[in-house]
Chains A and B, each alone.
Chain A
Amino acid sequence: MAGKPERAGINRRGFLKSSLNTLSGLLIGGIGGLLFSRSSKKEMVWQIDPEICIQCERCAANCVLAHSAVKCVHSFSMCGYCDLCSGYLEPGARSRDTGAENQLCPTGALKRTFIENPYFEYTIDEKLCIGCGKCVKGCAAFGNGSLCLQVRHDRCLNCNECSIARSCPSQAWKRVPADRPYILRGDESASFERRMKRGDHG
């Protein structure tokens, strides 16, 4: 065992190692710094652009959660409060009452309440809604388009790769800043904006 060359070898190795160590550190620091300069202080969250969504029903099935984080939301400001709601009633429904066989919603999540003649209010029971978008489709086809699908952020886990977004055929999903996490229609959009500015997050 020749002691000297071995030691020289170790020193060479040691030098190489420590230079590479510094180099890697600089590289990682550089990448980190570059990204930091571009970073957003805000968290980004997923949302559906309702103008692009085609209500394909994948939102109901593809969420990693057993009960999808996507639910139907109602922009009341746009609703016609129709007696004959095409989001509520099955096409060809026999009667306009609340019988399950007449309802478009498979889970009976869309609730109909009489307001005054001839108006009815439609609200969504989020515990029941599975986010299938059947009602949304019905409303868009023949109504005012006041229903739409949205990711509900009290439920969504904000997966790094949303498994619905990945399978969305219309590519309607995008990342939006966490303090503006909904894309709404009608007056609700403006009043949501106002509320956020006020810091009222009810």
Chain B
Amino acid sequence: MGKRSSGNNRRESIHRRGPAAAGMLILFSLLLAAVLGYAQIQERFPKPDFQTDYTRPDLSTPLPRAQVWEYVDIAVLIAALVLASYFAHRLRSRRKIFWLMVFSLVYFGFIRQGCVCAVGAVQNVAYALFNTGYAIPLSVIAFFVLPLVFTLFYGRTFCAAVCPLGAAQDAVILKPVRLSSTTAGLLGMLPVIYLGLAVLFAATGTGFIICRYDPFIGFFRFGASFAMVLFGAAVLLLGTVVARPYCRFLCPLGVLLDWMSRLSKKHVKITPDTCSNCRLCEESCPFGAIHKPNPSAQSPDKQTELRRLAVLLVLLPVIMFGAGWAGSRLYVPLARQHPTVALSEEILLENGGKRAVMTDATRAFRASGKTADELFEEAGRIQQRFRTGGWLLGGFIGIVFVFKLIGLTILRRRPEYEIDAGACFSCGRCFSFCPYEQLRLGTITQKELEEMEREGKNGSGAGGTSPMENNQNG
């Protein structure tokens, strides 16, 4: 064991020459180590032979929280989803939904500290689908599947009372403004792009950007980077006037929930009775999810509509391929987000003599014993995945965009006030605005109902503008 004996010699010589020389020797070897990158682990000094009855202490190895908690989380999730759907559909009680929402905020937010959440689980799923080596935990699958399935049955009751991110924003709504349908529609493309990027980055193993830009994790944990806290505060501040801004204009899971909700077997209605178009509920939804009635006379004729639809359908493949092509062109900057690709670019810079000082990353790589060619090859493979991914990302965004346009061109005739199933969070706020609901609950009499209806129709009710002017906005 040459190594061992040289260590011995060195130690003896140190002891002879005293601390100052030893210090210099240490300094020198540290400098050397810093230059070389990192020091190889080697046993330079023999393990001591203790004369006293000293015994080595044990190294403590505290374990993560017990496995059962994972199942507790799944159970709480199921219970909350069941209750949320029950409160919204059967009891139609905003108050009960509210208290369940508070519970979820406390449990999933502050107690479980926001991880894992249904929004983030999308990334684990994408990662697991494309990387067979990753064994996805059961709880993550549950957090992905259950909210979507419940939404397929009952609409977005998950958003109303289970999601901690939604709850945090719902709690701060003060004076919500109503956005025009064009603004809302355009901003509604943001979550689509975000979702596409998040799936691309997760599938390629680049990172989980949804987690990185989670607005509330800092609050849930009472501490985070300054940027994170700032973003969270901004979302909450904006949320006082634009209700649930993250949910509506960023949340990637919201895209999927929106689709599922449109297809849902059941969805909450403003009133289970017939609508008398009294307009009392018109402004009751802070999220602009209530469509105003749209008498057939107001919409353009069928001919124009069909023509527009035909144009859009012809444009669909064009836009899809255009966007896909644009997406694939972006593969270089996108792939650079992957640590391996970023590293290979730095190594390339250094090898080409374009940069003199090594970074921590390149130093670590050079010490790892892998060759640059191996690295470049791997980086090339990742870039290739990004090129394909870019096509899919662009195509996906293109399709969604065209379908949004189609949704705007085709005016569905609506005889009465109606909930937009995609945008509605099933929060239950609008229920009590309906006088028929009040009558059913026995809080008003038939006479009061008629009175209320008259006031609403005269425009002195909740809404200020005439329904005719606003038809197209629905």
Question: Could you list which residues of chain A lie within 8 angstroms of chain B, going by C-beta atoms?
Answer: 1, 6, 17-18, 20-21, 24-25, 28-29, 31-32, 34-36, 38-45, 51-52, 54-56, 58, 64-66, 73-82, 84, 86, 89, 91-96, 115-116, 119, 121, 123, 137-138, 140-145, 152-154, 156-161, 163, 166, 169-171, 175, 178-179, 181-182, 184-185, 188, 191-192, 195, 201-202
Cα distance A55–B218 in the bound complex, in angstroms: 26
Asked whether B223 lies within 8 Å of A65 as measured between CB atoms, the reply is yes
Question: Out of B51, B224, B359, B363, which one reaches A116, CB within 8 Å?
Answer: B51
Looking across the interface, which residue of chain B has its beta carbon closest to that of A76?
A: B56
Interface presence of B311 (CB below 8 A): no
CB distance from A172 to the nearest CB of B (A): 8
Q: Given the known inter-chain contacts A28-B152, A43-B139, please indicate yes or no for A81 contacting B48, CB distance below 8 A.
A: yes
| Chain B residues whose CB sits within 8 angstroms of the CB of A92 once the complex forms | 23-24, 26-27
Q: Given the known inter-chain contacts A39-B135, A91-B27, A140-B38, please indicate yes or no for A31 contacting B124, CB distance below 8 A.
A: no
CB distance from B252 to the nearest CB of A (A): 14
Asked whether B368 lies within 8 Å of A43 as measured between CB atoms, the reply is no
Please list 6 pairs of residues, one from A and one from B, whose beta carbons are closer than 8 Å in the complex, sorted by A's number: A21-B152, A35-B128, A36-B141, A39-B136, A54-B364, A121-B54
Asked whether B54 lies within 8 Å of A116 as measured between CB atoms, the reply is yes
Residues 120-164 of B, flagged 1 when their CB comes within 8 A of A and 0 if not, give 100111001100101111110100110011001000000000000
| Chain A residues whose CB sits within 8 angstroms of the CB of B26 once the complex forms | 84, 86, 89, 91-92, 138, 142
Asked whether B361 lies within 8 Å of A170 as measured between CB atoms, the reply is yes
Which has the most chain A C-beta neighbours within 10 Å: B30, B39, B64? B64
Asked whether B145 lies within 8 Å of A28 as measured between CB atoms, the reply is yes
| Chain A residues whose CB sits within 8 angstroms of the CB of B183 once the complex forms | none
Question: Out of B149, B339, B361, which one reaches A28, CB within 8 Å?
Answer: B149
| Chain A residues whose CB sits within 8 angstroms of the CB of B132 once the complex forms | 38
Residues 356-371 of B, flagged 1 when their CB comes within 8 A of A and 0 if not, give 0001110111011000
A-B pair count, CB < 8 Å, reads 243
Stretch from B188-196, B205-213, B401-409, B424-432 forming part of the interface with A: B205-213
Cα distance A109–B136 in the bound complex, in angstroms: 37
Asked whether A91 lies within 8 Å of B23 as measured between CB atoms, the reply is yes
Asked whether B41 lies within 8 Å of A140 as measured between CB atoms, the reply is yes
Question: Out of A29, A96, A170, which one reaches B19, CB within 8 Å?
Answer: A96
Asked whether A78 lies within 8 Å of B43 as measured between CB atoms, the reply is yes
Asked whether B221 lies within 8 Å of A80 as measured between CB atoms, the reply is no
Interface presence of B45 (CB below 8 A): yes
Cα distance A56–B195 in the bound complex, in angstroms: 33
Cα distance A84–B208 in the bound complex, in angstroms: 44
| Chain A residues whose CB sits within 8 angstroms of the CB of B360 once the complex forms | 54, 56, 58, 169-170
Cα distance A160–B217 in the bound complex, in angstroms: 11
Q: Which 4 A-B residue pairings sit nearest by Cβ, starting from the closest? A: A80-B45, A40-B135, A170-B364, A145-B41
Asked whether B141 lies within 8 Å of A1 as measured between CB atoms, the reply is no
Asked whether B152 lies within 8 Å of A25 as measured between CB atoms, the reply is yes
| Chain A residues whose CB sits within 8 angstroms of the CB of B208 once the complex forms | 160-161
CB distance from A18 to the nearest CB of B (A): 8
Asked whether B67 lies within 8 Å of A115 as measured between CB atoms, the reply is no
Asked whether A32 lies within 8 Å of B144 as measured between CB atoms, the reply is yes
Asked whether A166 lies within 8 Å of B207 as measured between CB atoms, the reply is yes
| Chain A residues whose CB sits within 8 angstroms of the CB of B27 once the complex forms | 91-92
CB distance from B305 to the nearest CB of A (A): 13
| Chain B residues whose CB sits within 8 angstroms of the CB of A34 once the complex forms | 129
Q: Given the known inter-chain contacts A123-B57, A192-B59, please indicate yes or no for A39 contacting B141, CB distance below 8 A.
A: yes
Asked whether B137 lies within 8 Å of A51 as measured between CB atoms, the reply is no
| Chain B residues whose CB sits within 8 angstroms of the CB of A153 once the complex forms | 62-64
Interface presence of B78 (CB below 8 A): no
Interface presence of B70 (CB below 8 A): yes
| Chain A residues whose CB sits within 8 angstroms of the CB of B218 once the complex forms | 64
Cα distance A24–B241 in the bound complex, in angstroms: 34
| Chain A residues whose CB sits within 8 angstroms of the CB of B116 once the complex forms | 160
Looking across the interface, which residue of chain A has its beta carbon closest to that of B221?
A: A64
Asked whether B148 lies within 8 Å of A28 as measured between CB atoms, the reply is yes
CB distance from B341 to the nearest CB of A (A): 12
Question: Out of B51, B52, B64, which one reaches A45, CB within 8 Å?
Answer: B64
Contacting residues of chain B (66-114) with chain A, CB-CB under 8 angstroms: 67, 70, 113
Cα distance A18–B115 in the bound complex, in angstroms: 34
Interface presence of B46 (CB below 8 A): yes
| Chain B residues whose CB sits within 8 angstroms of the CB of A89 once the complex forms | 23, 26
| Chain B residues whose CB sits within 8 angstroms of the CB of A79 once the complex forms | 47
Q: Given the known inter-chain contacts A84-B14, A184-B59, please indicate yes or no for A140 contacting B33, CB distance below 8 A.
A: yes
Interface presence of B465 (CB below 8 A): no
Cα distance A88–B262 in the bound complex, in angstroms: 64
